[in-house]
Amino acid sequence: MIKNMIQKIKSERRNRQFQFSASLYLYGCSITSIYSIFYLCMKIYFLTFWSAASALLFLCCFFLMACGYSKTAMWIGAVSTVCMSFLGDFTFGWNYGTHFFLVCLIPLILATEIMSKKTKLVLCSLCAVTYFVMLQFILHSAFLHPERSLIINIIGDINLFVSFGVLGFAMIRYSGAVIANERKLELINCKMAHLANTDQLTGIPNRRCIYSVLNSEIAEYERSNGHLVIGLVDVDDFKKINDTYGHLIGDQVLIELANQIRNQLGEHDTVGRWGGEEFLIVLPETNLEKGMEILENIRKSLANMKIDSSQYQPAVTITIGVAEYKLDLTFRELISQADECLYLGKQKGKNCVIAA
């Protein structure tokens, strides 16, 4: 039983609601234990007994919650707090300030996640009614030890401090939870954005992403009047590879090809999967002559690439159509120029780089 409880507590460490409630019950246990010592020193034995009993009840609440009885634990803790508030103020008067503990119950009830909104509203209303009933009853019935009035006023301030400490703790916990949730949401959004912009097979930017990159580079070109070259890459005889060796080998060819191209590009260059066996390479701040040199080096290196598979031995070759962006060219016209060059390269025998 105890071993299962310890395992439960360890497993719930990251549960913020569990952490919050557990900390409050342990906090209540510590405070009531201190009060029991204080009442014992003042020789007020019935309050000593009740404070010690409250400390045990709060400790029981902690273990009940660890066993999964969160609602039962909350009810026991709430009743214990109400009784402690009433007995303290009834004994020493309203200035003693234990009614502040009752006021603390309202935000704590609202903060819990184990109750419906209707139940929370009913309980908060009961706390408010109990507070005003206590006020009327204590003002007319409570007695006060005159020789202890200064101590009582000091303790009243301490009770106020303890109550605000509880509320402050609750605010810190929940502000921390909000920040953590925001960070988690940002991380999820980043992952979703990455998934939305990444080709699932090759791990490089997909068509939508490379389309956006190219548009951005065109806008930058028009601002700075620099250079921009693109290369439209197509795997030669890819259909034959699929038909002869199967689609799994075809996929492996595309993965290896994407990795090889990506490893040979500069920091500001981008390659994305344009569709099927086609890839689009974007080379910003690169003129046509330099772009041809880069793309020719990529073609040569890929011509010597071997696929890591015993089922596929032939070398993989590619044909690249190259186009340089000029002012007044549209996005589609730029792609069309590269596509036309790619078509010419296929007609010339493949495994070559052709520029517009």
Question: Which residues have a catalytic role annotated?
Answer: 277
Cα dist from 211 to 205, 206, 208, 225, 332, whole Å:
9, 8, 5, 20, 11
C-beta of residue 77 within 8 angstroms of C-beta of residue 57: yes
Taking the C-alpha atoms of residue 163 and residue 266, their distance in angstroms, rounded to an integer, is 61
**Would you put residue 49 in left (φ > 0), alpha (ψ -120 to 50) or beta?**
alpha
Residue 38: Cβ-neighbour burial (10 angstroms; 0-12, 13-18, 19+): middle
Relative to beta strand 353-355, strand 318-324 is parallel
Relative to beta strand 318-324, strand 278-284 is unpaired
Q: What are the residues whose beta carbons fall under 8 Å from the beta carbon of 151, sequence distance 6 or more?
A: none
Comparing CA positions, the residue from 168, 170, 183, 188 lying closest to residue 16 is: 170
* 245-271 per-residue burial string, b: 16 or more CB within 10 A, e: under 16: beeeebebbbbbbbebbbebeeeebbb
Cα dist from 70 to 22, 73, 75, 105, 150, whole Å:
10, 5, 9, 16, 40
